[in-house]
Amino acid sequence: MVWQIGAGGMRKRFQNDSGGALVAVLVMAVIFNFAFLAVNYTVGNATKKSGFRRMNISAINIAEAGKEQALSSFRSGGMVPSANSTVTLFDSIPFGNGHYTVMASTDEDADTVIISSTGFVNEISKTIVVICQVGDCQSPDDSAYNYGIISGGGMTWSGSGTCNTGSAMLHTNGAFQMSGSSNFHCGLLSSVAGITMKGSGDIVGSAIAPNIAMSGNGEITGSKTIGTVNQVSIPSIDLTPYYEHALAHGQVVNGIHITGSSSTVIPGGVLWVNGNFKYSGSGNVTGSIIATGSVTISGSGNFTAVDKYPAIVSRDSDITMSGSGRVSGLIYARVGKLKKSGSGDVTGSMICGGEFVKSGSWNTLTYMNSAPVAPNCSQKTYTEVAWQEL
């Protein structure tokens, strides 16, 4: 009897435990379900936010691409901003996974351009605004324009007197040879192939070359550095715009010789000479002389460049200067020699592809960066001065 009761009691307790377990399972199932939904919502929400962030970043990048396209068009001269205007430059241009629309507005002087570029990705859009300062055509940045005198060949320095180039740098891609009693002042003389000094002339300044050989009484008063000197490229100036400008103003002539005391002002600022140019007068010349052949200048007249044009150019031959007249601007022999024997001062710089030869009693070179800017240059500078995301 006791066993049966005990057995029945055991069976009753087993049934009660089964019911509790079932309830526990149901509760756990509900909790798990809620937890699953919560996790699923959190993950989904994070994924959605991550997607929005990616689209925001993508939209900004697309807006940047639109802005760069606008600047590229302005800088190349493909688009020229008009004063006091607002225009749509690009409308719904596909890019990446979206597209962009760009507008630009200018002030009354057209020296400030405001570019507004909007990038679109699906339903997301982002706009950036950039303010650009417009500048004049940029001069070339060839390192050769940093020198008072530079030659692609050797450099020979002779004669008498003292030539003062101030703190200007002089460079030759060949050897430098100095003789006679001529002294000269400079900031730095550099030679790729070596420096040789003979006679009594001094270099009042510093020098650097792979080797320096000195005989006679001449000295180098500054530092003397023995070391490798790299070549400096002689710039190749595109002369086509100058020819076209001269042609438009009726200033293209065949070989010409100017004499007399009358001054010459070149219409348009550029005289193009097919062949040789020769000058032996006393009148002044205002404008740029560009000859395909040789240039020979004597006499006492002064030459003054206009705008940022070079003063004297020989495209295919030599430049020889033996007069007492002054020259202001760039003196440039693209492939030939540059020979300076006259006493006339130079303000600017002197560049030649061949040898530079100095003789006589030249007194002064005042260095001025004379990097040229061609006529009718349309490639203005656009400098970003402010950027903002709206």
Over residues 223-256, the pLDDT tens digits come to 999 999 999 999 999 999 999 999 999 999 999 9
CA distances from 374 to 50, 138, 240, 309, 352 (A): 52, 10, 9, 6, 19
Q: Quick check: 265 pLDDT over 50?
A: yes
Where are the domains positioned within the chain?
A: 1-138+378-390, 143-367
pLDDT digits (tens, 9 = 90+) for 158-208: 988 899 999 999 999 999 999 988 888 999 999 999 999 998 999 999 999
pLDDT digits (tens, 9 = 90+) for 276-292: 999 999 999 999 999 99
Residues near 342 by Cβ (< 8 Å), separated by ≥ 6?
297, 298, 321, 322, 323, 324, 325, 360, 362
**CA–CA gap between residue 252 and residue 237 (Å, rounded):** 19
Q: Quick check: 29 pLDDT over 70?
A: no
pLDDT of 38: 52
Length of the chain measured in residues: 390
Q: Confidence band (pLDDT; 50, 70, 90) for 54?
A: confident
**Structural contact between residues 367 and 149, judged by C-beta atoms closer than 8 angstroms:** no
CA 203 from chain center: how many Å? 33
The DSSP letter of residue 144 is G
**Structural contact between residues 156 and 95, judged by C-beta atoms closer than 8 angstroms:** no
Report the run of H or E that residue 319 belongs to, with start and end: strand 319-321
Q: Confidence band (pLDDT; 50, 70, 90) for 15?
A: very low
Q: Quick check: 9 pLDDT over 60?
A: no
Angle at 313 between CA 311 and CA 317, to 5 degrees: 155
**CA–CA gap between residue 281 and residue 259 (Å, rounded):** 4
> Is the Cα torsion angle 360, 364, 367, 373 positive or negative in sign?
negative
**How confident is the prediction for the chain on average, in pLDDT?**
87
Task: Give the residue with greater pLDDT, 352 vs 161.
Answer: 352
Q: Quick check: 209 pLDDT over 50?
A: yes
**CA–CA gap between residue 220 and residue 252 (Å, rounded):** 47
pLDDT of 32: 57
pLDDT of 40: 55
3-state SS class at 282: coil
